[in-house]
Amino acid sequence: MGAWLVLCVGYVVRMYASPYLVMNSFYMLAILIQYFAFQNPDIFLDRKTGALSHLTATPYLQELNERGPFSAFAIGINDYMESCSLYGERQMTKGLRAITRYLRNTFPDYQVIYATVGRFILLSTKEHSFSDVRAQISARMQAPWVDTHAPLYLTASYAMFQGQLKRREGIDLFFDYSATALHRAEEQHDVIVMEQSLFDQARLNTTVWRAIETNAVEIYFQPLYGTQQRRIIGAEVLARLHDDELGFIRPDIFITIAERSGSITQLGEQVFEKACLFLAEHPLRELGLERLNLNLSPIQCRDSHMAEHLCCIAQRHKVPIHSFRFEITESALSYEQRLQQNMDMLIAQGAVISLDDFGTGYSNLMRVLKFPFEDVKLDMSFVRAYFDQTNKLLPAIIEGFQSFGVQITAEGIENKQMADTLTIFGCRILQGFYFAKPLPMDEFLHYLKTTAPTVRTDTD
């Protein structure tokens, strides 16, 4: 009741007498947090430590950030979980309370926040010498935090931030990011400086994870030209991710994020399902195409159930698996046995497999030939190197594969001269901006009706 009275009076005073106030909203907020924490400690304070809980601290951080640059110093207890089991929960809780008291008393300019699992964050609007703060805390860490029959000694890692966060998301991610920074500090035995670029990375990761969770990744189609059929015979399905704030995120960037986080299998299956939905509505024969090409990540290929899952998805949409050519890169070949199993199952159902990006790594012709590839795709950089006259190997490589009955696709065809030369060299399929860029579904359908029938190379 008393709290509401204070609030109401405060609000009226702020509204009508703001020019006379000496206290701005930031200090008001700080006082209110302290006041409510006192009134209702369970909501505002972390029960274990008595410090401000990181959940309550988010609006505080937001206010701080709006005012300008701020300082944050993060302290993480090393091997926290191990220490808990070694010293016991009670002893650790006493230790954390002792640390909170110490931090409050030693650094009165800072707000002390407890961000769970042994992590403290000190926040202040003032600029501080981080090395001084660190030196003081490190020195204190030499002594036990609880001095009973089993003295509690702890060590810590440190991370720091000085500046202003650019976006709202940076604030939501701040405590998560501090945790990542402290992990890194513990691993590297060094102090980590949290920079804006690392927040941007955290923001990008979240955007990608959210897009995968909500199935928001779209598919585009890049036409493939058959040199023998002399027409567009297929298309490569390429994933596209658009974010309202960040715009288009490059596929190589979001694919790498998905691979690192383990969500690439989910993304791969979503892309495949969207390709199946497209074919269910527009059968290949109606489009005048032979197959759609689909990229499979090496990480996805490690899963021994990959082919089974893809077959189930295709079946659900009544699309035959032989409508697809799956593209895999050489790094997938490391998981030989599982890859072989997956390939066998897809091939048994009529799909074909293509080796993507040939010429980028340490390509080993004999190793490649051990696998049942129908086709090898020469990477754009390799094709370009031939036309820039920096690598003359191209015709020999094409001939080599052909002598083993492996077809060649060349990508990155940007002009007539490239298309004509590669047709003469015997490439079966050509792909590149000369024919078309990757197109959204509607534009691709339009392209097939209007432009595709007119596409010819000079060797016709």
Residues 276-295 that bind Ca ion (CB under 5 A): 295
Write down the least CB distance from residue 251 to ligand C2E, Å. Answer: 4
| Among positions 83, 111, 263, 295, the unique one binding ligand C2E when judged by CB under 6 A | 295
Pick the closer one to ligand C2E by CB: 152 or 355: 355
Contact 154, 78 (CB under 8 A): yes
| Cα–Cα distance, 288 to 291 (Å, whole number) | 10
Residues 73-112 that bind ligand C2E (CB under 6 A): none
SS3 content of the chain, % helix, strand, coil (to 5): 55, 20, 30
Pick the closer one to ligand C2E by CB: 76 or 359: 359
∠ CA 338-341-345, nearest 5°, is 145
Q: Which stretch binds Ca ion (CB under 5 A): 30-38, 245-253, 376-384, 447-455?
A: 376-384
**Beta-bridge partner residues of 113:** 52, 121
Q: Which stretch binds ligand C2E (CB under 6 A): 12-20, 123-131, 247-255, 367-375?
A: 247-255
Rule CB under 6 A: is residue 411 a binding residue for ligand C2E?
A: yes
| Among positions 170, 234, 268, 359, the unique one binding ligand C2E when judged by CB under 6 A | 268
| Cα–Cα distance, 375 to 384 (Å, whole number) | 20
Q: Which stretch binds ligand C2E (CB under 6 A): 6-14, 71-79, 136-144, 245-253?
A: 245-253
- Nearest Cα residue to 359 out of 414, 404, 396: 396
Tokens of 10: 């405060």
| Among positions 356, 386, 394, 430, the unique one binding Ca ion when judged by CB under 5 A | 356
Contact 376, 368 (CB under 8 A): yes
| Among positions 51, 60, 379, 438, the unique one binding Ca ion when judged by CB under 5 A | 379
Rule CB under 6 A: is residue 271 a binding residue for ligand C2E?
A: yes
| Cα–Cα distance, 451 to 64 (Å, whole number) | 57
Location of structure tokens 């290949």:
284
| Cα–Cα distance, 215 to 277 (Å, whole number) | 14
Residues 192-211 that bind ligand C2E (CB under 6 A): none
| Cα–Cα distance, 47 to 42 (Å, whole number) | 7
| Among positions 11, 305, 433, 440, the unique one binding ligand C2E when judged by CB under 6 A | 433
| Among positions 103, 121, 238, 394, the unique one binding ligand C2E when judged by CB under 6 A | 238
- Please choose which of Ca ion, ligand C2E, none residue 96 contacts, taking the beta carbon within 5 to 8 angstroms, the exact cut-off set by kind: none
162 phi/psi in degrees, rounded to 5: -135, 120
Residue 326: alpha-carbon gap to chain centroid: 23
Contact 180, 202 (CB under 8 A): yes
Residues 296-335 that bind ligand C2E (CB under 6 A): 296-297
Write down the least CB distance from residue 222 to ligand C2E, Å. Answer: 6
Rule CB under 5 A: is residue 327 a binding residue for Ca ion?
A: yes
- Nearest Cα residue to 414 out of 395, 432, 393: 432
Number of other CB atoms surrounding residue 287 within 10 Å: 19
| Terminal CA-CA length for the chain | 88
Binding mask 341-380 toward ligand C2E (x if CB under 6 A, else -) reads ---------------xx----------------------x
Exposed, middle or buried: residue 436 (CB in 10 Å: 0-12, 13-18, 19+)?
A: buried
| Cα–Cα distance, 300 to 342 (Å, whole number) | 10
Write down the least CB distance from residue 267 to ligand C2E, Å. Answer: 7
| Among positions 170, 234, 359, 412, the unique one binding ligand C2E when judged by CB under 6 A | 412
Contact 223, 235 (CB under 8 A): yes
Write down the least CB distance from residue 409 to Ca ion, Å. Answer: 9
Pick the closer one to Ca ion by CB: 112 or 353: 353
| Among positions 50, 251, 395, 426, the unique one binding ligand C2E when judged by CB under 6 A | 251
Pick the closer one to ligand C2E by CB: 154 or 383: 383
Tokens of 236: 């490569």
| Cα–Cα distance, 199 to 233 (Å, whole number) | 44
- Please choose which of ligand C2E, Ca ion, none residue 433 contacts, taking the beta carbon within 5 to 8 angstroms, the exact cut-off set by kind: ligand C2E
Q: Which residues bind Ca ion (CB under 5 A)?
A: 295, 327, 356-357, 379
Q: Which residue ranges make up the site for ligand C2E (CB under 6 A)?
A: 222, 238-239, 250-252, 255, 268, 271, 295-297, 356-357, 380, 411-414, 431-433, 438
